[in-house]
Amino acid sequence: MSQSVDTIVAYLEVLHANKHLIAEAYCNGGIALEEENQRKIRQLIENRVLIPYFQQDFRVSPTLGRHLDEVFQRQRSYAVGANFVDLANRLRQLIIEYTTASNENRLDDQEDYAAEYDAGVFELASLIHDELLSLRAITENQFANVSTMAEKQRQNEFYLDRAEKIGETIALLEGENLLGTLSESPLLKPLLEVYQHQVLVKLAGWRSTHMDITSVLKAFLYRLRQIEPNARRIRAFAHFLRKNPDYQTPDSESIQTFPAWSSRYAGLRLKTHPDLSVSQSRDALAEIAQSIPSAKISIVRERAAGSRINDGEVNGVRILQPKPVQLAFRRYLQAASDSLSPLSAIDWKRKQSEFSTLGDDAWLLYAIHSIEMLGKEFKSGRWQGIQVKRDLAPAEHIRSGNIVIKDVALWKKT
């Protein structure tokens, strides 16, 4: 392992060992010197990772910050990219030095210049690619990092200028100035190959992306510039409508030249039906059909004139079944009419096993209510002569007003 590689590994290990501190400083825009982190901060300052900012505060070095911005696609307003023209001029200078070293047979220098040139072309290509990516992201989110239209407009104009500079660089890279120099001497063939591989094959893609970005930026700028007149127009029109409540938009018959928007298609709601003959979809359709709850069916039979509903059908007559309590009272009344001594309702019910499910309270309540309802019948009707006697519990208080009925008895008076 060479010395330089060891040094770089050691440097990266410093970064790794202090990763939390660096991340904190990057995300929070700086870090304060404290007792527990002072040793680490000193180490990072020595390695040019942190730079003193103000008294005890330190910030991530701008070069590392830019690298992290790029990796994490963090957008900075008015971010200044590389100076492409200077980078391209540097390449031309390296080509000249390479040629001179070659002519003077300084092979080591020639090799160094070739390596420098290779790295320079790579850097330029990489920067153009990154700048285009960044511009594309900015144009696609329409300057979402700023809120007001005025800010958006200023940023739009700034980035249009950046895009223009990339356009100039692309033109420079495919122009005769650099390419012509590389092509004119067989001595420069290795440099031309590097240029071919790193730049020329990518130029068409860069040009197309650059055109896309420029057109989007221009269209957006146009829209931004239209906002104010549009707003004023709507305000003026709203004002006009308020002043002229009877105003009606013109009828289409009165229009000589139709505007483009009037040809808008009103639309049609499409409705499709499953084709049950297609076997591939049958299982899926069956599954869907099973998932639909069954519909409630209600059949309304209309009565034909001169006939009854359900006339002639088996279920035409509904026989109402009495409830057990109704049946029990009926039988109790029958038993009481045959009894010459008071027949307690509670005692009678308890002796009837078929009515064992009836509760005493419910039974007594129903019996009392029914006896009251039959009051006239006991005097002169069908149940004439039936006597009623209530078994009352003593009142808890003389003035409470409560009457507590414990039982009721019926019998036939002779």
Partner 1 sequence: MFNQVVQSLLAGEFICQVSDHAGFSYLNDAAHQHEVNTYVGRIGLQLSVTRQGGAFFIAHNVDGGVDRKAAKEVFTEIKQSLRPLVSFLDMVMRVMQNDNLLIVGTPIEVNKLMAAIDSNPSFRSDLQTLAIQLKVSGDGTDRNRLEKVLRVFREKGYLMLSNPEREIYQITGKIEFIQEVIEFLMEHDAIGGMEDEPPSTQGELL
Using the minimum distance from each CB to partner 1, give the nearer residue, 85 or 234.
Answer: 234
Question: Does 268 participate in binding partner 1 (rule CB under 8 A)?
Answer: yes
Choice from 2, 4, 55, 148 touching partner 1 (CB under 8 A): 148
Could you give the 3-state DSSP secondary structure of residue 59? strand
Find out whether 25 and 58 touch, Cβ atoms under 8 Å: yes
Answer yes or no whether residue 233 interacts with partner 1 by CB under 8 A. Answer: yes
Q: Which two tokens stand for residue 10?
A: 């050691």
223 makes contact with partner 1 (CB under 8 A): yes
Quick check: 327 and 363 in contact, CB under 8 A? no
Taking the least distance from each CB to partner 1, the nearer of 164 and 311 is: 164
Write the binding mask 178 to 217 for partner 1: x where contact by CB under 8 A, - elsewhere: ----------------------------------------
Q: Which neighbouring-strand residues pair with 273? A: none
Nearest approach, Cβ of residue 147 and partner 1 (Å):
10
Say whether residue 255 binds partner 1 (CB under 8 A).
yes
What is residue 185's three-state secondary structure?
A: coil
Q: Is 154 in the site for partner 1 (CB under 8 A)?
A: no
Q: Is residue 229 involved in binding partner 1 (CB under 8 A)?
A: yes
Stretch that binds partner 1, among 256-264, 328-336, 368-376, 396-404 (CB under 8 A): 256-264
Write phi, then psi, for 272 (nearest 5 degrees).
-120, 160
Is the CB of 135 or the CB of 410 nearer to partner 1? 135
265 binds partner 1 (CB under 8 A): yes
How far, in whole angstroms, is CA 171 from its chain's centroid? 44
Q: Is 61 in the site for partner 1 (CB under 8 A)?
A: no
Residue 248 interacts with partner 1 (CB under 8 A): yes or no = yes
* Binder among 1, 266, 292, 320 for partner 1 (CB under 8 A): 266
Report if residue 225 touches partner 1, rule: CB under 8 A: yes
In DSSP terms, which residues pair with 407 in a beta bridge? Answer: 391
Does 137 engage in binding with partner 1 (CB under 8 A)? no
Q: Which of 3, 105, 262, 315 binds partner 1 (CB under 8 A)?
A: 262
Does residue 93 bind partner 1 (CB under 8 A)?
A: no
* Sole window of 32-40, 145-153, 274-282, 304-312 interacting with partner 1 (rule: CB under 8 A): 145-153
Contact 271, 279 (CB under 8 A): no
Instruction: For residue 250, state whether it binds partner 1 (rule: CB under 8 A).
Output: yes
Q: Is 260 in the site for partner 1 (CB under 8 A)?
A: yes
221-to-137, 139, 379 alpha-carbon distances in Å = 16, 11, 103
* Cβ proximity of 374 and 383 under 8 Å: yes
Tokens standing for residue 211? 């055109």
Which residue lies nearer to partner 1 by CB, 239 or 303?
Answer: 239
User: Smallest gap, in angstroms, from Cβ of residue 172 to partner 1?
Assistant: 24
Residue 192: closest CA among 179, 176, 173: 179
Report the C-alpha gap between 103 and 397 in whole angstroms.
Answer: 134
User: C-alpha 73: how far from its chain's center?
Assistant: 23
Report if residue 54 touches partner 1, rule: CB under 8 A: no
* Cα distance between residue 110 and residue 92, in whole Å: 15
Residue 218 interacting with partner 1 (CB under 8 A): yes
Which residue has 């938009």 as its token pair?
249
SS3 of residue 79 by DSSP = coil
Q: What is the C-alpha to C-alpha distance for residues 211 and 170, in angstroms, rounded to an integer?
A: 11
Tokens 């009165």 appear where? 254
Interatomic CA distance for residues 24 and 365, integer angstroms:
82
Residue 256 corresponds to which tokens in the numbers above? 């000589």
Q: Closest approach of Cβ 210 to partner 1, in Å?
A: 16
Q: Contact between 404 and partner 1 (CB under 8 A)? A: no
The CB-of-131 to partner 1 minimum distance in angstroms stands at: 22
Q: What's the CA gap between 139 and 219, in Å, rounded?
A: 10
Surface-to-core class of residue 89, CB atoms within 10 Å of its CB (0-12 exposed, 13-18 middle, 19+ buried): middle
Question: For partner 1, which residue of 219, 285, 327, 393 counts as binding (CB under 8 A)?
Answer: 219
- Residue from 55, 252, 290, 402 touching partner 1 (CB under 8 A): that is 252
Closer Cβ to partner 1, 11 or 247, answer by number:
247
Tell me: does residue 100 bind partner 1 (CB under 8 A).
Answer: no
Residue ranges binding partner 1 (CB under 8 A): 142, 148-150, 218-219, 221-241, 247-253, 255, 258-270
